[in-house]
Chains A and B, each alone.
Chain A
C-alpha cells in the first residue's frame, strides 16, 4: 500500500492525517468550533489578536476543556502505538500490546489504590503529592509486566501461548483488585473508577497533560535510538548480542521506560485496549517491520487514530459520550482475532 513511499513521505502523510484529525477533534463536540474560530482562539490565546470579550466563553471552553482533551487523546494514542511497537519488539511477536500483557491493568490497579485508599491508609505516599497516583500506577504496571515477561520467556526465547495466558491471569487479578476497590469505595469515587476503567478523556486537565507529555517525550527520545537494536533482537537474544548490541540491557530499559509512559498515561485515562495492537499492525502491513520506521510512525498514526476514535466517542450518543475503551475494543478485538488466525495458519505459533 505505502510500499512505494519512502519513510519520509510516509511520515509526511501520517503527519497530515494527524493534523486533520486534531483540527476535527478540536472542533467537534457539545460546543462545535469551525476551523476559522479555532484559529482565532489560538491567535487570541497567544496574544497575536486582542482578546475579544464576546469570545470569552468559547475561548475558555476551548483552552480549559477541549485543548487538554485533544492533547491527552493524541498523547494516549501515540503512547499506546509506540508501546505496542516496543512490546512487540520485547516479546518478539506482533500480537502483544500493553493491554494484553497486563501493563495497563496493573497501572490502573496501582492508580485506583491511591484514589480509593490514598487519604486514609496510604499516608506514606503523602510526600509524593500529585505524583502519588502516577508513581503507584508505574509500580503496578511494572509488577504486572515483569510477571508476564518472566513467565513467558526463558532461554532467550518467548513462548506466545504462555505470554497470552499469563496476560489473561495478570489482567484478571488486576481487574479483580480494581473491582474490589471500586466496591469498597464511596460513591463518587466508585463511579469514577468504573468509568475510567473503560478509558476516558473527560478528566483531561493541563497538569496531567503536561506530565504525560513530558514522560512521553523522554521515552520517545530513548526509543527512537533503539531501532537497530530492536531489529537485531527480532532474530533472538544470541543473534542480537553477536551483532554487538546488549540485549539484556535493552530489555531492562525497554520494560522500565515502556511501563513508565503507559502507567503515567493509564493513571490519567484508564485502560484503552487494542490501540497498541492495531497501530503497529497496520504500519507493518502497509509499509515495513523495520523498528527505525515503526517507532516514529506508530507515534504519529496512534495519535491520529486516537483523535478520530475520540471524535466518534463524542458523536455516537450525544449529548453523552461513550467510554473510549468500548470503541477501541470493538475495533481492535476483531483485528486481534484475525491476527491470531493468521499466525496460527502460517506457522507453529508456540515457537514464537
Chain B
C-alpha cells in the first residue's frame, strides 16, 4: 500500500500540489484524472519516491519512502514515464535488461535473462529484440519501456510479495489495439498483489479499467471515488470544461461518456 498524507509541492511561490491525501491499495487499478497542468505527473513522481514533497509524507507499507533503500525500493516499484528519450543505439533487449539492474550485481543471471525474454513476449517484441531502440516508432518505444518496467517488478517464486507500478499516460503513443493490450497487462498484474497507479487521459478507458479514482484540479484533490458510477457528469463538466453526456452502447448494453465543448 502506498499512502500519501497531506502532500504538497511548491516551486517558488506557486503551489503545484497542496493537501493531497490518498491511499493506493494493492490489487487495485488506481487512476489519477485531471486536466493538463493539474499536477498529475508531479503527484505520480512524489508517490513513486522520485520527488521529495515540500509538505506531507509518502509511506510504503507504513514506512516513510525516504527511509527505504533506493535499490530495495526499485525491486518492488517501477515507473513508466511518458516519453523516454534515448539517443544511443542500445538494442531493445539491452533496454529491457535495465529493468533487472536493481536485481543483479555486475552480470545478469540466467533468471534475469529469462525474465527479459518473458517481458518482451508480453509486449510482442521478441522478434525485434536486437533492433536499435532509436530506430523504433513511438509506439514501439513505449512497448519496450513497458517491457522494461514489467521486468523490473516481475513476480515469480523467487520474487514474491507486493509490487507497485506507476504509469504516466501509458497509452499516449499506442494504437487502439495496444492501448487495450497495455491496460489488460496492467490489470493482469493486480491478481499478483500489485498496486497499479496510472494517469489516464481517456476517461472512458479510465472508467472501464479503474477501481479507484482520484480527480485533481489545480493541484488539489477534488474527488476520490471507489467506483466509476460515483463520478458525476457535473464534476467532469466542471473539471474538464466540457459538456458530458452518458450514452448507451447499443451492442453491449454498457454506458459510456460522450464529451463535447
Binding site for B on A (CB under 8 A): 92-94, 157, 228, 231-232, 234-236, 238-239, 241-246, 284, 288-290, 292, 343, 346-347, 351-352
In contact, A234 and B134 (Cβ under 8 angstroms): no
Contact of A244 with B102 at beta-carbon distance under 8 Å, contacts A238-B50, A239-B79, A347-B134 already known: yes
Using Cβ atoms and an 8 Å threshold, which residues of chain A touch B99? 243
Chain A contacts for B88, CB-based, 8 A: 94, 234, 284, 289
In the complex, which of the residues A234, A246, A284, A292 has the most CB atoms of chain B within 10 Å of its own CB atom?
Answer: A234
Contact of B50 among A93, A242, A284, A288 (CB under 8 A): A242
Are the CB atoms of A290 and B90 closer together than 8 Å?
A: yes
CA distance A238 to B81 in the complex (A): 9
Q: Does B118 contact A (CB under 8 A)?
A: no
With A238-B45, A238-B79 as contacts: A289 and B85 at CB distance below 8 Å: no
Name the residue on B nearest A291 (C-beta): B88
B94 and A343 within 8 A (CB):
no
Choice from A231, A245, A284, A347 contacting B89 with Cβ under 8 Å = A284
- Identify the B interface with A (CB < 8 A): 45, 48, 50, 70-75, 77-79, 81, 84-90, 94-95, 98-99, 101-102, 106, 134, 152
Known interface pairs A238-B50, A241-B50, A243-B152. Does A289 touch B90 (Cβ–Cβ under 8 Å)?
yes
Contacts A242-B48, A244-B75, A245-B70 hold; do A235 and B87 have CB atoms under 8 A apart? no
Contact across chains for B78 and A242 when beta carbons are under 8 A apart: yes
Contact B87 A244 (CB under 8 A): no
B43 CB to closest chain A CB, in angstroms?
14
Residue of B at shortest CB range from A227? Answer: B106
Q: Apart from A235-B84, A242-B74, list 5 A-B contacts with CB within 8 A.
A: A238-B50, A242-B78, A243-B98, A244-B101, A290-B90
Quote the shortest CB–CB distance from A199 to chain B (angstroms).
28
Q: In the docked arrangement, what's the CA distance between A352 and B152, Å? A: 25
Q: Which residues of A contact B73 (CB under 8 A)?
A: 244
A352 cross-chain contacts in B, Cβ below 8 A: 85, 87
Q: In the complex the two chains form, is A244's CB within 8 Å of B50's CB?
A: no
List the B residue with the shortest CB-CB distance to A290: B94
Interfacial chain B residues near A94, Cβ < 8 Å: 87-88
Closest to A346 in B: B134
* In the complex, chain A residues whose CB is within 8 Å of the CB of B152: 243
B81 near A239 with CB under 8 A, answer yes
The 4 closest A-B pairs by CB, nearest first: A244-B74, A244-B71, A244-B102, A242-B79
Shortest beta-carbon distance, B30 to chain A, in Å? Answer: 18
CA distance A220 to B45 in the complex (A): 34
**Which single residue of chain B is at the shortest CB-CB distance from A349?**
B87
Q: How far is the CA of A235 from the CA of B78 in the complex (A)?
A: 14
